[in-house]
């Protein structure tokens, strides 16, 4: 006989996982929220603004983060991953592997003293490696839970058995190097997978010069570059000479709609490149932007009007063209060589900074998680969703939402998340 | 030194305040002169607040609501419009109507909000500082503003405005719809009367005066003054003070 | 409370450099300490962070604060967070006041930091004077009817009803037509798997046979009353008036296709609409060789600026079906931008190209010209028109809002956007909620949506509705209107002026009273009351006047 556990596990604490958790919690269902990182927030926390309203991303996300961490029906498991699944719908048994934080969650007050004193300098993943962080750190300043963690790979105590400075400076004695990784078992009635996406690495497309030309960056790097809390405090400079860039180019479909890489459309790039161009223009009205596209995909509510505003009010030029390659002149200005689709002519244009709208790709470990959960993935490694009930996975009792099943924007992820919550509730609340 | 006007803005929570926030999110720069009081709806703005603002030396007042038809509370901004019309009529009697503006800003109009602030700030700058700040005429101006406030607090006038939409569209209890022009005339008269009545009260606060004397002081025909005195007596605000040689003098008997 | 001395704590947020980089925060903090009743004033890097919040909680206790002010971003986004933080520290949430020194100060006066700081001083002072007059308010508890009403029996409405019913809630499904199914009934097959639309229509049986769902067909909504947790919908069905009660309402009324009359020589014979093509495909009665489709007919123009979302995929689907039926047929799609986002749809587009379907781009300023047996499409490269022959011309018409949306919106007291689709509370984070509590929207009533999107959204709307109807009791805002019966003379001006019918005469006591659950706290009655007998809690005349006076006098 199976128990009907009125408890749901949500895997992934990005906007989709957060929304699903909050809906379920408000519905009166207990939620176990599993997050791999030390803070919830996901990709949305990395974005500067969000289209089509251009609200500041963290501003609208922060209240949700706090709500999530405060809700009595939500138990937050950070630094945690799913290791094993057994049982059946309405009575799943999930093994969770929780990495040691080496910081006592109840003691740390996020005062930052330890960060100041830590001697290590490591690439900051949250800031797309555009600045350094320490080996003890918080994922991002507004992160929730707002407590430190120690990165074992880089901490001198673990690598060289030395240092322990953070331990000495911490006034609250919150550092605990004896913490051990843990395994815990959770019993839930249903599972929602909301693990999000990774970013396509444009280095594999040698012709675009990413990695070789300093003034060619990815869109997510650009988000951090223009973000007020990013590495440049929101004052956009081009990487090579720290000059104010005046001519920007965005290239859509980098790695997407491309048989050799990702044949699918990444859904959001037409909109977010427009958004990034708008923000850049708001920072500096002398900025002149071109967006290279194949088809302008803007079918969501108010999206087409948004693109129109981009043309009319933000001086954005939309160029229907396929970019063949990027060259660089002796001032390190990127030169875009492209085929104008409407006239079939090959042209070349010079820019100060080029931004690549790289495709959203499945999480590196999606295949592994699929195996653990026993759900199917599609040809591209996204979790396989039912065509007409897109929150339904290939396995009963396990649901999908957000970009882990297909590239999608924030509104769609939120809809998807609430939808997955409804499906999970259907399983655990069924009479 | 350039005159920096002191401007007060009443913004409705749902559209205009959001529009002002959007101006912020979009980093649209505008003059620093406005201080905002957030209200849930522009219809919450009691005209008395604006009289109060002018009495306290504020140079200009902006009232911003959702566009007509977009009110979060369905019809609040229509009510705001009627109130501001009445206020404007009242203020025009003391040459203050230029210092208040009602306009509409949606949650998507950060630019429009900034532009309204720019225009209004410039407009007030041109008008110059509020006469309340001029020591020479301050007393007179405050008296005038007090008269305005008196009118705006008047029960009958408020009832007229509160019922305006009902009376001009649905009709009164007998089903009679009052044409808008006719209503405006009634309203104009009511405003004028209330302001005169307040002036009368101001004149007879300290000592009793006769109708002809009051008439001379406030430059209104004696028969009209008598009429107002009768009304004010009925409201219990004025009474006979003394009777000298068969000519009664009147004095205000209640603080208003 | 009234005897207790006012003790105000002010928390000033740097918001990183958002505020701190422009305004002089140390100066503001010092200035604030000089204001009356302020016993504590400090700056935080991010007041909204867990650190900032715990500082608020700790200082409420440590300094015995009975009023809290946060000077930071907008109350529109952060007031709930700070209010509940106060509540956690034992302070009534209505004793909190927020001052906006970022969105309406540091961000808009970036080049005038000194003047911006002066402005912030005024704003904080105004907040302090208001805070001194704030009063504790109680949130009322109201019971909730544990059922939902779904308006519209298309695929979105049916699916929402089914989900809630499966969660064990009672659902009433109201459909104006004589049968369920909506637009899906007219479709032949559905993308991206090309299965028969009739398979999905099976949902009808599940809905009609579900013991938790009452279906009202051929029903007209006469009136909608009530409020979150306690709605009453009055419908007319077979000349009978039926009253249905529910705790939440889901709007799933769908949309309709724009009529093709008057576009591109439409004649209903060899020039037809995409929807008419669905019918012909159902009957399997197409035997022409040259089929051409035109996209964006009657939309993405001055009159209708929007993209209707579903037409590209619909055209691709029918093009593929035609090509499958007759591989020798010439199928051409004349388009502007092909909207096939995502994984499956882009795949579908590729398949169409591989099958030999021809795609020709056109510019809105040079639309295709219909000749007797061919269409002329301007080609920029060749700078001339190219002829595309056709036997059958298919026009892709957009979905437009139903004409009764306006009436329904009025009854529900919810807004429509410029194209008359229903307007949600927030595009990003509340995509299926209305600003009015307890009412939700899904499917094409919100924006043209295909089957999969409609179902997704209907699940979402069901989830949002379940967060209300799963509760026994709901808490209601405390900042509402209250009538002082001693001052009220019973003129009833407020009863007429209230847009929510929240004010009425209580027959028993013969006084005019406010229904706090229905009252939205807009304050229009208060500003109108001839006797000044109405208090608008949290926005009282005294509080607002105090702000005005201190600004003027400062």
DSSP secondary structure letters along C225-239: EEETTEEEEEEEETT
Torsion-angle region of C69 (φ positive above 0: left; ψ -120 to 50: alpha; else: beta): beta
The verdict on A21 and A71 lying in the same domain is: yes
Judge contact between A275 and A51, C-beta under 8 A: yes
The verdict on C393 and C483 lying in the same domain is: no
Pair of tokens at residue A63: 């209240």
Q: What is the mean pLDDT of chain B?
A: 90
The verdict on C440 and C482 lying in the same domain is: no
Query: How many residues appear in chain B?
Result: 256
**Residue/partner pairs of B148-151 with CB below 8 Å, 24 or more apart:** B148/B51, B148/B90, B148/B91, B148/B93, B148/B94, B148/B96, B148/B195, B149/B48, B149/B51, B149/B52, B149/B55, B150/B194, B150/B195, B150/B197, B150/B198, B150/B201, B150/B256, B151/B90, B151/B191, B151/B194, B151/B195, B151/B198
Q: Count chain A–chain C contacts defined by CB atoms under 8 A.
A: 209
Q: Is residue A107 part of a domain?
A: no
Please check whether residue C199 touches A, CB under 8 A: no
Pair of tokens at residue C492: 């009833």
Among A74, A223, A218, CA closest to A140: A223
With a cut of 70, list the residues of chain A below it in pLDDT: 1-4, 59, 111, 431
Query: Which residues between 502 and 541 in chain C have a beta carbon less than 8 angstroms from any beta carbon of chain A?
Result: none
Judge contact between A123 and A134, C-beta under 8 A: no
Cβ separation A56–B25 shorter than 8 A? yes
Judge contact between A191 and A8, C-beta under 8 A: yes
Pair of tokens at residue B192: 């004028």
The verdict on C274 and C390 lying in the same domain is: yes
Q: Is residue C142 part of a domain?
A: no
Alpha-carbon distance of B179 to B163, in angstroms, equals 13
CATH number at residue C495: 3.30.70.20
Min Cα–Cα distance to chain C from B56, Å: 5
The verdict on A190 and A233 lying in the same domain is: no
What is the β-pairing status of strands A216-218 and A247-254?
Answer: unpaired
Alpha-carbon distance of A139 to A121, in angstroms, equals 14
Q: Lowest-confidence range among B32-41, B232-241, C63-72?
A: B232-241
Q: Is residue C248 part of a domain?
A: yes
Q: Is residue A350 part of a domain?
A: yes
Task: Enter the DSSP assignment of A55.
Answer: E
**Number of independent structural domains in chain A:** 3
Q: Count chain B–chain C contacts defined by CB atoms under 8 A.
A: 158
The verdict on C294 and C313 lying in the same domain is: yes
Cβ separation A342–C459 shorter than 8 A? no
The verdict on A356 and A369 lying in the same domain is: no
Quickly list DSSP for C140-202: EEEE--SEEEEE--SHHHHHHHHHHHHTT-EEEEE-SSSSS-GGGGG-SEETTTTEEHHHHTT
The verdict on A70 and A189 lying in the same domain is: yes
The verdict on A269 and A213 lying in the same domain is: yes
Domain extent at residue A52: 7-99+181-196+363-429
Residue whose structure tokens are 């305004």:
C23
Q: pLDDT confidence of C2, banded at 50, 70, 90?
A: low
Alpha-carbon distance of A24 to A16, in angstroms, equals 12
CB count in 10 Å sphere of residue B128: 12
Q: Is residue A106 part of a domain?
A: no
Min Cα–Cα distance to chain A from C70, Å: 15
The verdict on C271 and C383 lying in the same domain is: yes
pLDDT attached to residue A31: 98
Torsion angle defined by CA atoms of residues C75, C81, C83 and C84, in that order, rounded to the nearest 10 degrees: 160
Judge contact between C410 and C401, C-beta under 8 A: no
The verdict on A52 and A13 lying in the same domain is: yes
The verdict on C514 and C427 lying in the same domain is: no
Q: Is C312 helix (H, G, I), strand (E, B) or coil?
A: helix
Q: Is residue A108 part of a domain?
A: no
The verdict on A32 and A78 lying in the same domain is: yes
Which H helix or E strand runs over A220?
helix A219-226
Please check whether residue C539 touches B, CB under 8 A: yes
pLDDT attached to residue C1: 47
Min Cα–Cα distance to chain B from C147, Å: 26
Min Cα–Cα distance to chain A from C241, Å: 32
The verdict on C490 and C461 lying in the same domain is: no
**Number of independent structural domains in chain C:** 4
pLDDT attached to residue C457: 98
Q: Is residue C502 part of a domain?
A: yes
Q: Lowest-confidence range among A64-68, A289-293, C177-181, C374-378?
A: A64-68
Q: Is residue A306 part of a domain?
A: yes
Q: pLDDT confidence of C51, banded at 50, 70, 90?
A: confident
Alpha-carbon distance of B253 to B241, in angstroms, equals 9
Cβ separation A49–B27 shorter than 8 A? no
Q: Is A15 helix (H, G, I), strand (E, B) or coil?
A: helix
The verdict on A348 and A386 lying in the same domain is: no
The verdict on C263 and C391 lying in the same domain is: yes
The verdict on A259 and A333 lying in the same domain is: yes
The verdict on C281 and C370 lying in the same domain is: yes
The verdict on C14 and C108 lying in the same domain is: yes
Please check whether residue C477 touches B, CB under 8 A: no
Please check whether residue C237 touches A, CB under 8 A: no
Q: At which of C397, C418, C453 does a domain end?
A: C397
Alpha-carbon distance of C267 to B112, in angstroms, equals 45
Residues C187-201 have pLDDT tens digits of 999 999 999 999 999
- Angle value at C-alpha C121, between C116 and C124, nearest 5 degrees: 120
pTM for this one?
0.78
Sheet holding A30-34, edge to edge: A74-77, A30-34, A7-11, A190-193, A398-400
The verdict on C251 and C265 lying in the same domain is: no
Judge contact between B166 and C496, C-beta under 8 A: yes
Q: Is residue C549 part of a domain?
A: no
pLDDT attached to residue A430: 82
Neighbouring residues of A125: CB distance < 8 A, sequence distance ≥ 6: none
Residues B98-141 have pLDDT tens digits of 999 999 987 767 888 999 999 999 999 999 999 999 999 988 89
The verdict on A218 and A280 lying in the same domain is: yes
Q: Is residue C2 part of a domain?
A: no
The verdict on C306 and C356 lying in the same domain is: yes
Q: Is A177 helix (H, G, I), strand (E, B) or coil?
A: coil
Pair of tokens at residue A352: 């100060």
Q: Is residue C272 part of a domain?
A: yes
Domain extent at residue C35: 8-137
CATH number at residue C324: 3.50.50.60
The residue in chain A having the minimum alpha-carbon distance to the alpha carbon of residue C347 is: A264
Residues C245-284 have pLDDT tens digits of 999 999 999 999 999 999 999 999 999 999 999 999 999 8
Cβ separation C530–B20 shorter than 8 A? no
Optimal mutation site among A47, A51, A53, A56, interface B, most CBs of chain B within 10 A: A53
The verdict on A187 and A230 lying in the same domain is: no
Judge contact between C255 and C400, C-beta under 8 A: yes
CATH number at residue A212: 3.50.50.60
Q: How large is the angle between the packed helices B16-25 and B110-127, nearest 10 degrees?
A: 100
Q: At which of C397, C432, C456 does a domain end?
A: C397
Alpha-carbon distance of B134 to A118, in angstroms, equals 63
CATH number at residue C26: 3.40.50
Q: At which of C86, C115, C137 does a domain end?
A: C137
pLDDT attached to residue B69: 65
Residues B72-100 have pLDDT tens digits of 777 899 999 999 999 999 999 899 999 99
Pair of tokens at residue C217: 């067909």
The residue in chain C having the minimum alpha-carbon distance to the alpha carbon of residue B13 is: C76
Judge contact between C244 and C219, C-beta under 8 A: no
Which H helix or E strand runs over B89?
helix B76-92
Q: What is the mean pLDDT of chain C?
A: 94
ipTM: 0.95
Q: Is residue A258 part of a domain?
A: yes
Contacts of A39 in chain C (CB under 8 A): none
């Amino acid at each position: 006989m199976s128990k009907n556990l009125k408890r749901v596990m949500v895997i992934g604490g990005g906007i989709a996982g957060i929304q699903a958790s909050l809906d379920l919690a408000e519905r009166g269902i207990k939620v176990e929220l599993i997050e791999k990182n030390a803070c919830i927030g996901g990709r949305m926390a990395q974005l500067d603004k969000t289209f089509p309203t251009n609200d500041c991303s963290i501003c609208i996300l922060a209240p949700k983060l706090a709500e999530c961490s405060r809700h009595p029906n939500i138990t937050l498991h950070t630094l945690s991953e799913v290791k094993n699944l057994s049982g059946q719908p309405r009575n799943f048994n999930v093994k969770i592997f929780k990495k040691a934080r080496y910081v006592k969650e109840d003691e740390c007050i996020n005062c930052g003293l330890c960060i100041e004193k830590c001697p290590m300098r490591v690439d900051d993943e949250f800031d797309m490696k555009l600045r350094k962080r320490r080996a003890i750190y918080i994922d991002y300043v507004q992160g929730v839970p707002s407590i430190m963690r120690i990165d074992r790979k880089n901490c001198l105590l673990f690598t060289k058995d030395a240092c322990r400075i953070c331990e000495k400076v911490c006034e609250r004695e919150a550092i605990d190097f004896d913490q051990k990784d843990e395994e815990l078992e959770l019993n839930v009635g249903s599972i929602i997978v909301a693990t999000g996406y990774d970013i396509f690495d444009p280095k594999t497309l040698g012709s675009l010069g990413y990695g070789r030309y300093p003034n060619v960056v990815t869109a997510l790097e650009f988000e951090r570059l223009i973000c007020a809390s990013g590495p440049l405090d929101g004052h956009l400079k081009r990487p090579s000479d720290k000059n104010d860039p005046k001519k920007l180019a965005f290239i859509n479909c980098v790695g997407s709609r491309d048989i050799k890489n990702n044949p699918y459309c990444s859904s959001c790039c037409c909109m977010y490149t427009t958004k990034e161009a708008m923000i850049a223009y708001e920072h500096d009205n002398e900025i002149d932007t071109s967006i290279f596209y194949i088809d302008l995909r803007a079918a969501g509510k108010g999206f087409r009007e948004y693109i129109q505003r981009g043309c009319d009010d933000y001086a954005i030029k939309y160029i229907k063209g396929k970019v063949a390659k990027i060259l660089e002149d002796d001032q390190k200005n990127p030169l875009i060589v492209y085929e104008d689709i409407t006239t079939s002519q090959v042209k070349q244009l010079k820019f100060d900074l080029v931004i690549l709208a790289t495709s959203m790709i499945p999480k590196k470990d999606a295949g592994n998680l699929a195996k653990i959960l026993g759900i199917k993935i599609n040809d591209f490694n996204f979790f396989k969703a039912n065509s007409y009930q897109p929150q339904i996975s290939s396995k009963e009792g396990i649901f999908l939402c957000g970009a882990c099943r297909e590239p999608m924007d924030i509104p769609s992820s939120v809809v998807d998340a609430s939808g997955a919550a409804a499906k999970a509730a259907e399983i655990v609340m069924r009479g | 030194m350039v005159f920096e006007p002191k401007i007060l803005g009443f913004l409705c929570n749902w559209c205009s305040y959001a529009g002002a926030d959007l101006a912020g999110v979009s980093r649209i720069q505008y003059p620093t002169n406005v201080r905002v009081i957030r209200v849930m709806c522009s219809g919450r703005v009691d005209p008395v607040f604006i009289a109060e603002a002018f009495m306290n030396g504020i140079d200009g007042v902006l009232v911003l609501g959702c566009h007509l038809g977009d009110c979060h509370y369905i019809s609040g901004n229509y009510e705001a419009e009627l109130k501001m019309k009445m206020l404007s009529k009242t203020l025009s009697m003391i040459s203050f109507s230029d210092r208040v503006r009602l306009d509409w800003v949606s949650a998507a109009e950060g630019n429009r909000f900034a532009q309204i602030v720019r225009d209004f700030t410039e407009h007030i700058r041109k008008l110059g500082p509020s006469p309340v700040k001029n020591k020479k005429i301050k007393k007179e101006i405050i008296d005038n503003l007090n008269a305005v406030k008196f009118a705006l607090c008047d029960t009958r006038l408020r009832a007229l405005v509160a019922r305006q939409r009902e009376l001009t569209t649905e009709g009164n209890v007998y089903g009679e719809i009052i044409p808008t022009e006719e209503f405006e005339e009634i309203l104009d008269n009511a405003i004028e009367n209330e302001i005169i009545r307040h002036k009368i009260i101001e004149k007879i606060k300290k000592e009793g005066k006769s109708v002809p004397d009051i008439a001379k002081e406030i430059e209104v025909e004696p028969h009209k003054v008598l009429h107002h005195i009768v009304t004010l007596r009925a409201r219990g605000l004025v009474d006979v003070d003394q009777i000298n040689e068969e000519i009664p003098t009147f004095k205000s008997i209640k603080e208003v | 409370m009234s005897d207790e001395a006012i003790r105000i704590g002010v928390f000033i947020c740097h918001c990183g450099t958002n505020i701190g980089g422009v305004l002089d925060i140390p100066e503001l903090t010092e200035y604030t300490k000089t204001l009356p009743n302020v016993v504590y004033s400090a700056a935080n890097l991010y007041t909204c962070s867990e650190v900032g919040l715990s500082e608020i909680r700790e200082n409420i206790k440590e300094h015995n604060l009975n009023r809290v002010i946060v000077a930071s971003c907008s109350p529109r986004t952060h007031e709930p967070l700070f209010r509940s933080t106060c509540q956690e520290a034992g302070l009534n949430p209505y004793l909190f006041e927020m001052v906006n020194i970022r969105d309406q100060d540091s961000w808009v006066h970036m080049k005038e930091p000194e003047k911006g700081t002066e402005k912030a001083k005024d704003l904080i002072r105004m907040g302090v004077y208001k805070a001194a007059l704030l009063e504790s308010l109680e949130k009322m508890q109201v019971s909730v009817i544990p059922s939902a009403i779904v308006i519209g029996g298309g695929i979105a409405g049916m699916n929402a009803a089914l989900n809630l019913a499966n969660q064990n809630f009672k659902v009433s499904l109201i459909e104006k037509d004589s049968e369920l199914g909506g637009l899906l009934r007219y479709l032949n097959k559905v993308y991206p798997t090309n299965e028969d639309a009739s398979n999905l229509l099976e949902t009808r049986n599940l809905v009609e046979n579900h013991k938790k769902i009452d279906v009202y067909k051929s029903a007209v909504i006469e009136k909608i009353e009530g409020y979150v947790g306690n709605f009453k919908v009055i419908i007319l069905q077979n000349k009978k008036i039926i009253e249905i009660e529910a705790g939440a309402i889901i709007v799933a009324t769908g949309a309709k296709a724009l009529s093709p009359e008057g576009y591109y020589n439409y004649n209903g014979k060899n020039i037809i609409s995409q929807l008419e093509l669905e019918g012909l495909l159902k009957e399997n009665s197409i035997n022409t060789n040259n089929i051409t489709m035109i996209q964006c007919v009657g939309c993405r123009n001055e009159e209708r600026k929007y993209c209707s979302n579903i037409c590209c995929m619909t055209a691709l689907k029918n093009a593929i079906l035609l090509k499958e039926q007759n591989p020798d047929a010439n199928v051409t799609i004349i388009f502007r931008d092909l909207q096939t986002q995502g994984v499956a749809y882009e795949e579908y587009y590729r398949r169409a190209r591989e099958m030999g379907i021809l795609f020709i781009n056109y510019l809105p300023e040079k639309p295709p010209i219909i000749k007797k047996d061919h269409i002329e499409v301007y080609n920029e490269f060749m700078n001339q028109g190219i002829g595309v022959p056709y036997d059958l011309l298919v026009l892709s018409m957009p979905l437009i809002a139903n004409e009764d949306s306006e009436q329904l919106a009025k009854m529900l007291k919810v807004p429509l956007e410029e194209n008359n689709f229903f307007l949600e509370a927030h595009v990003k984070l509340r995509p299926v909620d209305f600003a009015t509590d307890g009412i939700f929207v899904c499917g094409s009533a919100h924006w043209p949506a295909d089957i999969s999107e409609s179902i997704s959204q209907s699940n979402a709307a069901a989830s949002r509705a379940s967060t209300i109807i799963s509760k026994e009791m709901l808490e209601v805002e405390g900042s509402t209107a209250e009538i002082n019966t001693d001052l009220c003379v019973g003129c009833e001006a407020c009863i007429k002026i209230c847009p929510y019918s929240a004010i009425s005469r209580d027959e028993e006591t013969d006084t005019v009273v406010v229904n706090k659950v229905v009252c939205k706290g807009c304050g229009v009655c208060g500003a109108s009351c001839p006797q000044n007998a109405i208090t608008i809690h949290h926005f009282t005349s005294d509080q607002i006047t105090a702000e005005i006076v201190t600004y003027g006098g400062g």
